[in-house]
Amino acid sequence: MRITPGSTLRHHLSEWALISAVVLGLAMAGCVPSMPPLPTNPYDEQNQLRVAILAPLSGELATYGRTVRRAVELAFDEWNERRNDSEVFIQPVPEDTPCDATDARQVAERVVAMGIRFIIGGICSEAAIPIADVADKNGALFLATSATHPLVTVDASGNTRPLVFRTAFTYTQQGRAASRFLLQTLRLERVAVVNNLRSPFAREVVAAFREAFTSQGGTASIVSVDASQQSDLGASLESIITSDVQAVYVPDHCATMIHIQEALRAHGSDKALLAGDWWNVHELDLTTLEGVYLTAHYSAQIADPAALQWAARYRAAFAVEPDALAALAYDAAALLVQGIEQSESASPQAVAHTLSAIEYKGVTGRWRFNAQHDPLKQAIFLRVRDGALQFAGSAGVE
């Protein structure tokens, strides 16, 4: 059974409380001599570092928030078990944080008012951006787990937030990686790119993809659609199907990708289809997506010993398979631990200085940070074969 941080402390304190009560009763009855002072708490406040975990723990996104919380606490458990007495004991402080800008800001402000100066979370950009703003203004270090919007690590003026980092690659990084995968791994030079006019995410990825793809000799035909209008999407699909493109890139919600995939197959098209990272394996019927390529931040199919060992530990602790949210959250927590371990002090500024130059090897890959505190890592690409996900390749996001 996995012991959560603080449970050992609570156990010891309850034991000492019970022993003290018994001894006090006996002493008052004149039965025993006075006792020597009780041992000090091994996890005293001076050697304890509180880290807030900001994720949705209630509502419709609670499943995702609990995944983040479990992964972060697993990393802290492992650190607390191997630390020596001179190193800090990390105490996680989970706080229910919806994917709403106003609510997220209020939670972040409450956390820093409690004196907490380290924060992990922000599973969506709507929450991560205001959390980053609060952290930036209050000298707190914030590690965003899965938020991909550029304004998480840079402010509105384009200045890098000195105390904010992220573990997931950004919109533009995803677009560049997709261009390399299609050109260098699949060796496809003519691609139709679906640009959902209602999705800021899609526009960011499309712009980065087109620049990278064409600069490497590829031809990218941008097909702008309103994915909420089936008639508009249908007309655009007709032009894609009859064109000479070799592949279709859909950096949009998985529902759009599924609709396009169904249309391609209905017309007997064998054009390759690559989707973005806006999907969750638990929500997809893989038996209907044969041959589709998916962008990912993590895959259990990668034969990396450290990642495989972590996946085994995660399964043993929680009896479920780890997903990308869990992997990114675990890496954020493990990265923070490594930053603290390698810093001269456990201040946010000292740890941030260490992180800005660190070479990190985690379960989602090996990386260092660029000047904007985005990870320079490999994006993972998977292919659906026989109703299962298979590793298809990787590409750098630089």
pTM: 0.85
Note the pLDDT of residue 230: 62
Both structure tokens of 131: 């959390």
Note the pLDDT of residue 281: 72
SS3 string of 315-357?
HHHHCCCCCHHHHHHHHHHHHHHHHHHCCCCCCHHHHHHHHCC
Note the pLDDT of residue 44: 54
Question: Which of helix, strand or coil describes residue 16?
Answer: helix
What are the residues facing 51 on neighbouring strands?
A: 92
Alpha-carbon distances of 208 from 36, 105, 156, 213, 268, rounded to whole Å: 69, 30, 20, 8, 30
Note the pLDDT of residue 22: 30
Neighbours of 211 (CB within 10 A): 15
Note the pLDDT of residue 198: 82
Determine the straight-line distance between the first and last CA of the chain, rounded to whole angstroms.
41
What whole-number distance in Å separates Cα of residue 219 and Cα of residue 189?
A: 6
More confident residue, 270 or 86: 270
Mean pLDDT for 74-80 is: 96
Q: Is the pLDDT of residue 24 over 50?
A: no
Note the pLDDT of residue 45: 60
Note the pLDDT of residue 247: 96
pLDDT-based confidence at residue 30 (cuts at 50, 70, 90): very low
- Out of 3.30.1050.10, 2.40.50.140, 2.30.30.100, 3.40.50.2300, select the CATH number for domain 172-296+381-396: 3.40.50.2300
Note the pLDDT of residue 10: 35
Do 47-168+303-363 and 172-296+381-396 come out as alike in CATH topology? yes
Return the minimum-mean-pLDDT range out of 3-7, 88-92, 300-304, 334-338: 3-7
**392 contacts 275 by C-beta, under 8 angstroms:** no
Q: What is the pLDDT of residues 309-345, one digit of tens each?
A: 999 999 999 999 999 999 999 999 999 999 999 999 9
pLDDT-based confidence at residue 84 (cuts at 50, 70, 90): confident
Note the pLDDT of residue 282: 72
Note the pLDDT of residue 25: 37
**254 contacts 263 by C-beta, under 8 angstroms:** no
Q: What is the pLDDT of residues 200-258, one digit of tens each?
A: 788 889 999 999 999 999 999 998 887 666 665 667 788 888 899 999 999 988 888 88
The CATH number of the structural domain formed by 47-168+303-363 is: 3.40.50.2300
Return the minimum-mean-pLDDT range out of 21-30, 123-132, 221-230, 238-247: 21-30
Q: What is the pLDDT of residues 263-290, one digit of tens each?
A: 888 888 899 999 999 887 777 888 889 9
The secondary structure element, H or E, covering residue 78 is helix 62-82
What are the sequence ranges of the domains in the chain? Answer: 47-168+303-363, 172-296+381-396
Mean pLDDT for 186-197 is: 94
**397 contacts 295 by C-beta, under 8 angstroms:** no
Q: Compute the C-alpha angle 282/365/337, nearest 5°.
A: 100
Note the pLDDT of residue 23: 31
Q: Is the pLDDT of residue 152 over 50?
A: yes
The sheet that has 375-376: what strands, in order across it? 360-362, 365-369, 375-376
pLDDT > 90 in the chain, percent: 69
More confident residue, 127 or 84: 127
Note the pLDDT of residue 259: 85
Question: Which of helix, strand or coil describes residue 43?
Answer: coil
Q: How far is CA 170 from the centre of its chain?
A: 11
